[in-house]
Structure 1
Amino acid sequence: MAKKPCGGGGAFEVSSSLVESGGRNNAGAAWLDDDGRPRRTGTVWTASAHIVTAVIGSGVLSLAWAIAQLGWAAGPAVMLLFAAVIYYTSTLLARCYRSGGGDDAVATGKRSYTYMDAVRASLGGRHVALCGAIQYANLFGVAVGYTIAASISMLAIKRADCFHHVKAHNGKRAASSCTSSSNPYMILFGAVEVVFSQIPDFDRIWWLSILAAAMSFTYSAIGLALGVAQTVANGGAKGSLTGIGIAAGVTPAQKVWRSLQAFGDIAFAYSYSVILIEIQDTVRAPPPSEAAVMRKATAVSVAVTTVFYTLCGCLGYAAFGDAAPDNLLTGFGFYEPFWLLDVANAAVVVHLVGAYQVFCQPIFAFVEKWAAAAWPDSAFMAREIGLGPRLRISVFRLAWRTAFVGLTTVVAMLLPFFGDVVGLLGAVSFWPLTVYFPVEMYVAQHGVRRGSTRWLCLQMLSAACLVVSLAAAAGSIADVVDALKVYRPFSG
């Protein structure tokens, strides 16, 4: 019996002869794909939902701050530039899902179930270990960052309601009575993720991705509406062509670091290559090929996110100018319309619940594949708990995924400024995962001749993105250093 490889948690056993034959002679089996696995059911729309859930995170609310650092000239231009880069490199990566390459009409070659599988099939050697280390460190950092972000939104709801009920909007007594720690909310978020983490794989969380994507549109739309209202109340748009200037409280060095961080934030906000192969592995079998489906899904999701990113960033900057806050929703205060802000923050929390799962599924699947291979005869690995006639939970999955969620929660509580560290992880991972590996895999699989015009253009793109990663990493390091100056463990 051959066990299901990584790509969607849990083990599924099929006939070894079926797998060895590639399933081609059993294509008539309605429930199996060409690799002997249960037939995939993903479409352009489910893949788009996964991508939008992963890409449009709560970070969209910080884009007004990023635009404020760069100004009206560079800010929107950088957004459009990186939308184009992400779309192009994502299509290159999608064409490497099958080791045979193939074209958009016919899918041939062996499937890659994970990003690491694709790197192994195309490049091999030390590239695989390097890819895995960067990918999983990045995903772990994102999980911690999402825990912090969700707790901030939950705490904002509590504070807004508290301020409203005490009816003392400017009173120090009211402010002190509404102060609380975010740690309980991190624990609550972790408890919810423990439950949702028992969903076995990507195929089973399509509904959660669609719900999360809808929530991202909800809070983005509220932010847009409030931005428009604030701009109208101001009597016009604020801001300048070059962004925040050198003034009181902003030194020339800070201007440089903030600009680099803003440039990096915009670039990384679009990146989802780290989970693209895992998403592609949910797409139903051809025709058309999985690469063609992912190209359409990428076009839809990048177009949607670009519109929302540009609107949220630009309207937020128009509303607040150089004083644009890190979180667009906090710029409107805690008070009125407090109920609308509560809805927006609640949508942020629901979205992050889904986004956490989308980003963590590759980690879950990798560990479970490794454990199944390491202890194939373990009774603990095979044991299941029945919760109903059609609901059974793997004991190993319950134990390991609960431990993982608990670890991310504790790290979030220990390092409340971990968002800066996540930015550093994003800076370090952007170039290799989003640009370098997709470019090199495409070159290797499709026989792009070294020294040809196409090869030179691809290498120039890779080199330019490497410079961006290094610059953004420098800006993130500066932020981490500043955060360490006032660091207090479990400060919440």
Structure 2
Amino acid sequence: MDSMEQGVSSLNIESRLKKNLDDDGRIKRTGTVVTASAHIITAVIGSGVLSLAWAIAQLGWVAGPAVLMAFSFITYFTSTLLADCYRSPDPITGKRNYTYMDVVRANLGGRRVQLCGLAQYGNLVGVTIGYTITASISMVAVKRSNCFHKNGHQVKCSTSNYPFMVIFACIQMVLSQIPNFHKLSWLSIVAAIMSFAYSSIGLGLSIARLVGGAHAKTTLTGTTVGVDVTGSEKVWRAFQAIGDIAFAYAYSTVLVEIQDTLKSSPPENKVMKRASLAGISTTTLFYVMCGCLGYAAFGNDAPGNFLTGFGFYEPFWLIDVANVCIAIHLIGAYQVFCQPIFGFVERWCSERWPESAFINHEIPVGVPCLGTTYCANLFRLTWRTMYVVVTALLAMIFPFFNDFLGLIGAAAFWPLTVYFPVEMYITRTKMKKYSFTWMWLKILSWACLLVSLMAAAGSVQGLINSLKTYKPFKA
């Protein structure tokens, strides 16, 4: 009788364990369209929104909004193609692919897997460096706005960015110990709320400036050659503006990882497509309003970052609130972009050295007050801390906002947002070569490659100019 009871008990335990596991044996995913949309908004409405007024100023009333809408459509279209690749060969019942590299390996294979990894993880590292720069600029802006309010707008109020980069890095060292993406939903929701808050403040201040009678000079073609810029500056800045807009829509680098947080019913690809539509529609609305109203408010003299470049000085407390919101948002956004890097390195090391206690041993640690247990890992603690330190040091070396954003956007947009999703769709559907659909998909891919090259050239030229004029220890 005892043996029968033990058998029933073990079956019940096994049944409960299976209920907590997905079809791949991993802990059951709980993500929904709401959490996925929050991750997307956190990833997309980032520091890029702050440079859109400047980008529209370089392109003008015609090309500026047109480029914004074009990138919006392309990003949504290719994200739907990528969402269908999460499982293969069937998008609903096939085997799960946990990372972008896994998706490319399952659908394309060969050397393109390594090229994908280089593009994806290189971009993710670049974004985390860019977010360290931007967060420190926003923190400095709080201190400077109070200085301007107290001493007048003509005072320099110069402040070093470096201490604030250190503060940001210390916060990230703690948050980076969150084990994986599945535990980040709460942080993404907070970050998404912050992004709406500072975007709305920037929008409101632009409207207030217009209602107050500001008559900024705007044109159909943007900055005027011979008046605002030279001919060569006009070309380079236009290229850089395209790169900034590309960066503002970039989230394909983490799309697969976001999709891997979704529960399996309804099918992940359908939920991800709805989340992409909600996320990109919301961000596009904000982008068009912030970019266009920001340009209308400041004209061809729009600052590179209209909340930290002091396009606005008053009310100083509202500027402070906006910049605090930016800093909080970027704390969460940094984690959204660095967690895939952490996961990739840790999986590789675990497979490479499966017997290593340093890499694989989890140490249970009780968390006071919360009544929960945290599983610490010495390798995770060491390597993630080193990663945050290195990105902070690189941010200190290259503290240039617009140029850096443009270069990151240009480097990632074509391969990750366009090329791989298009090629995988063609392969999966066994599309006939030189058919109508094959032709226009190839034309789209090559056109986006040209745009990426132009944006990269403009951003490199901007970085060179910034390095020539850079004065250390100034905000």
**TM-score, with length taken from structure 1:** 0.89
Residues in 2 aligned to 1:87 and 1:333: alpha-carbon distance in whole angstroms = 32
Residues in 1 aligned to 2:312 and 2:225: alpha-carbon distance in whole angstroms = 29
Which of 60, 63, 66 is residue 74 of structure 1 equivalent to? 63
Q: Following TM superposition, by how much is the alpha carbon of 1:108 offset from its aligned partner in structure 2, in angstroms?
A: 1.2
Aligned amino acid, residue 275 of structure 2: A
What residue in structure 2 maps to residue 307 of structure 1?
A: 285
1:320 aligns with 2:298: yes
What residue in structure 2 maps to residue 424 of structure 1?
A: 407
Q: Following TM superposition, by how much is the alpha carbon of 1:27 offset from its aligned partner in structure 2, in angstroms?
A: 11
> Residues 432 and 171 from structure 1, CA distance in 2 versus in 1: closer, same or farther, beyond 3 angstroms?
closer
What residue in structure 1 maps to residue 76 of structure 2?
A: 87
What residue in structure 1 maps to residue 466 of structure 2?
A: 483
What residue in structure 1 maps to residue 374 of structure 2?
A: 391
> Residues 315 and 213 from structure 1, CA distance in 2 versus in 1: closer, same or farther, beyond 3 angstroms?
same
What residue in structure 1 maps to residue 95 of structure 2?
A: 110
> Residues 422 and 141 from structure 1, CA distance in 2 versus in 1: closer, same or farther, beyond 3 angstroms?
farther
Which of 291, 294, 298 is residue 276 of structure 2 equivalent to? 298
Residues in 2 aligned to 1:425 and 1:329: alpha-carbon distance in whole angstroms = 21
Percent of aligned pairs with the same amino acid? 58
1:355 aligns with 2:355: no
Which of 117, 124, 146 is residue 139 of structure 1 equivalent to? 124
Q: Deviations over 1:52-80 (max 9, x none)?
A: 00000021011001111111111111111
1:362 is paired with a residue whose SS is helix
Q: Following TM superposition, by how much is the alpha carbon of 1:384 offset from its aligned partner in structure 2, in angstroms?
A: 2.1
What residue in structure 2 maps to residue 7 of structure 1?
A: none
Q: Following TM superposition, by how much is the alpha carbon of 1:26 offset from its aligned partner in structure 2, in angstroms?
A: 8.2
Which of 240, 254, 267 is residue 275 of structure 1 equivalent to? 254
What residue in structure 2 maps to residue 45 of structure 1?
A: 34
Aligned amino acid, residue 101 of structure 1: D
What residue in structure 1 maps to residue 147 of structure 2?
A: 162
Residues in 2 aligned to 1:312 and 1:422: alpha-carbon distance in whole angstroms = 17
1:392 is paired with a residue whose SS is strand
1:242 is paired with a residue whose SS is coil
Aligned amino acid, residue 407 of structure 1: V
Q: Following TM superposition, by how much is the alpha carbon of 1:383 offset from its aligned partner in structure 2, in angstroms?
A: 4.3
1:199 aligns with 2:178: yes
> Residues 171 and 84 from structure 1, CA distance in 2 versus in 1: closer, same or farther, beyond 3 angstroms?
closer
What residue in structure 1 maps to residue 447 of structure 2?
A: 464
1:433 aligns with 2:416: yes
What residue in structure 1 maps to residue 90 of structure 2?
A: 101
Q: Following TM superposition, by how much is the alpha carbon of 1:331 offset from its aligned partner in structure 2, in angstroms?
A: 5.5
RMSD, aligned CA = 1.9
1:253 aligns with 2:232: yes
Residues in 1 aligned to 2:258 and 2:49: alpha-carbon distance in whole angstroms = 22
Q: Following TM superposition, by how much is the alpha carbon of 1:425 offset from its aligned partner in structure 2, in angstroms?
A: 3.4
> Residues 161 and 100 from structure 1, CA distance in 2 versus in 1: closer, same or farther, beyond 3 angstroms?
same
2:376 is paired with a residue whose SS is strand
- Say if 2:76 and 2:280, in contact at 8 Å, map to a contact too: yes
Return 353-362 or 264-273, whichever deviates more. 264-273
- Say if 2:242 and 2:406, in contact at 8 Å, map to a contact too: no
1:1-40 equivalences under 5 Å are: 29-40=18-29
Return 261-270 or 69-78, whichever deviates more. 261-270
1:151 aligns with 2:136: yes
1:366 is paired with a residue whose SS is helix
Residues in 1 aligned to 2:143 and 2:182: alpha-carbon distance in whole angstroms = 35
Return 182-191 or 58-67, whichever deviates more. 58-67
1:234 is paired with a residue whose SS is coil
Aligned amino acid, residue 225 of structure 2: I
In structure 1, the gaps of 5 or more residues are 1-24
Residues in 2 aligned to 1:335 and 1:301: alpha-carbon distance in whole angstroms = 31
> Residues 423 and 170 from structure 1, CA distance in 2 versus in 1: closer, same or farther, beyond 3 angstroms?
closer
Residues in 2 aligned to 1:144 and 1:428: alpha-carbon distance in whole angstroms = 14
What residue in structure 1 maps to residue 436 of structure 2?
A: 453
> Residues 136 and 49 from structure 1, CA distance in 2 versus in 1: closer, same or farther, beyond 3 angstroms?
same
Q: Following TM superposition, by how much is the alpha carbon of 1:385 offset from its aligned partner in structure 2, in angstroms?
A: 5.4
- Say if 2:243 and 2:405, in contact at 8 Å, map to a contact too: no
Q: How many residues align?
A: 457
Q: Following TM superposition, by how much is the alpha carbon of 1:101 offset from its aligned partner in structure 2, in angstroms?
A: 3.0
2:184 is paired with a residue whose SS is helix
What residue in structure 2 maps to residue 62 of structure 1?
A: 51
Q: Following TM superposition, by how much is the alpha carbon of 1:245 offset from its aligned partner in structure 2, in angstroms?
A: 0.5
What residue in structure 2 maps to residue 123 of structure 1?
A: 108
- Say if 2:87 and 2:94, in contact at 8 Å, map to a contact too: yes
- Say if 2:308 and 2:323, in contact at 8 Å, map to a contact too: no
1:129 is paired with a residue whose SS is helix
Aligned amino acid, residue 190 of structure 1: A
1:438 is paired with a residue whose SS is helix
Aligned amino acid, residue 98 of structure 2: Y
What residue in structure 2 maps to residue 265 of structure 1?
A: 244
Residues in 1 aligned to 2:311 and 2:442: alpha-carbon distance in whole angstroms = 47
> Residues 330 and 484 from structure 1, CA distance in 2 versus in 1: closer, same or farther, beyond 3 angstroms?
closer
- Say if 1:116 and 1:131, in contact at 8 Å, map to a contact too: yes
Q: Following TM superposition, by how much is the alpha carbon of 1:133 offset from its aligned partner in structure 2, in angstroms?
A: 0.8
1:329 is paired with a residue whose SS is coil
Q: Following TM superposition, by how much is the alpha carbon of 1:194 offset from its aligned partner in structure 2, in angstroms?
A: 0.6
Residues in 1 aligned to 2:234 and 2:107: alpha-carbon distance in whole angstroms = 42
Residues in 1 aligned to 2:298 and 2:311: alpha-carbon distance in whole angstroms = 12
Aligned amino acid, residue 467 of structure 1: L
Aligned amino acid, residue 289 of structure 2: L
Residues in 1 aligned to 2:51 and 2:400: alpha-carbon distance in whole angstroms = 15
Q: Following TM superposition, by how much is the alpha carbon of 1:163 offset from its aligned partner in structure 2, in angstroms?
A: 2.9
What residue in structure 2 maps to residue 401 of structure 1?
A: 384
- Say if 2:169 and 2:388, in contact at 8 Å, map to a contact too: yes
Q: Following TM superposition, by how much is the alpha carbon of 1:433 offset from its aligned partner in structure 2, in angstroms?
A: 0.6
- Say if 1:427 and 1:469, in contact at 8 Å, map to a contact too: yes
Q: Following TM superposition, by how much is the alpha carbon of 1:390 offset from its aligned partner in structure 2, in angstroms?
A: 1.5
